Structure formats: structure tokens, C-alpha cells
Amino acid sequence: MFCVNCQTDVEPETVTGADIYGPRFAFKDALYARCPRCGNYGEFAAKDEPPYKVIPDFRLRRGYNYIDGVLDLLWRQKKMTKAEVLYRMAGLMYGHERAYRTRDIESYDEACRAYRLAKELKKEAFSHVQTVA
């Protein structure tokens, strides 16, 4: 995996939520990939998904949370399905040359761009509100 903090490919250690946050953590059995050089960590992709390639640092991890905060709202409020959200983001970010996944983002600049585009998508989705005449 590519460690954003070390800026190099590393062979990650597999650790649990308890290893990182302690035994009282709600997702203590969840698996994380941890960089053996600097200790930064990233989530594992779901079993039916291709693995993530990036270990984010603290700043990028916070960026992921900002982006997902906006994108999750879109499908939770049924403005779009989750698949539609990811499809639109793939178009906006990469011109559909690759799939979009927040946790594939490798740099803070790219995360800022994704956040900006996510907010535009949200604006578009929420502007289609029915108004009573």
C-alpha cells in the first residue's frame, strides 16, 4: 500500500480497532492496515470490494470524513442511490476513466477537489426541491 505520510509503498501490518483505539472502541474487531514505519493506518475495504491502496495520514483521513459526510447525506436522504453518487463522482473527478472511492484518494489536494465537487453535487441534488406555488 502507498503510505501518504512516508510517501512510499509499504508492506502494511494488519491490526484491529482495539490495537489502534483500545479495547473499548466500538469497532474493536474491525481490521485496519497500519504502516510499519510511521504507524498511520487505513480501513480495509469490504470483502466484496478491491482492496484500498492508500494508507492516509491524519490530515487526509479527516479529508475523507469531510467528503463522506457530504456524499453519505445524498444517498441517506434519498437524493441519489449510493451507486449514482459514486458514478457521478467518478465523472466529476476522473471523467469516468476510473471508479471513484473516497479511500483511494492519495493526496490532500485531491481530497480538497473531491470535497468541492461533492458539495457541488449536493447543491445540485438539493436544488431540485419541489416548491409550492
Scan residues 70-99 and list those touching Zn ion (CB under 5 A). none
Name which of 38 and 92 has its Cβ closer to Zn ion: 38
Pick from 60, 56, 27, 25: nearest CA to 39: 56
Residue 30 as a binder of Zn ion (CB under 5 A): the answer is no
Dihedral sign for Cα 68, 74, 77, 81, please: negative
Provide the terminal-to-terminal Cα distance of the chain, rounded to the nearest Å.
Answer: 55
Residue 3 as a binder of Zn ion (CB under 5 A): the answer is yes
Residue 38 as a binder of Zn ion (CB under 5 A): the answer is yes
Pairing assessment for the beta strands 31-34 and 41-43 based on DSSP bridges: antiparallel
Q: Residue 103 Cβ, how far from Zn ion at the closest point, in Å?
A: 16
Q: Which of 16, 25, 28, 37 lies at the binding interface for Zn ion (CB under 5 A)?
A: 37
List of residues contacting Zn ion (CB under 5 A): 3, 5-6, 35, 37-38
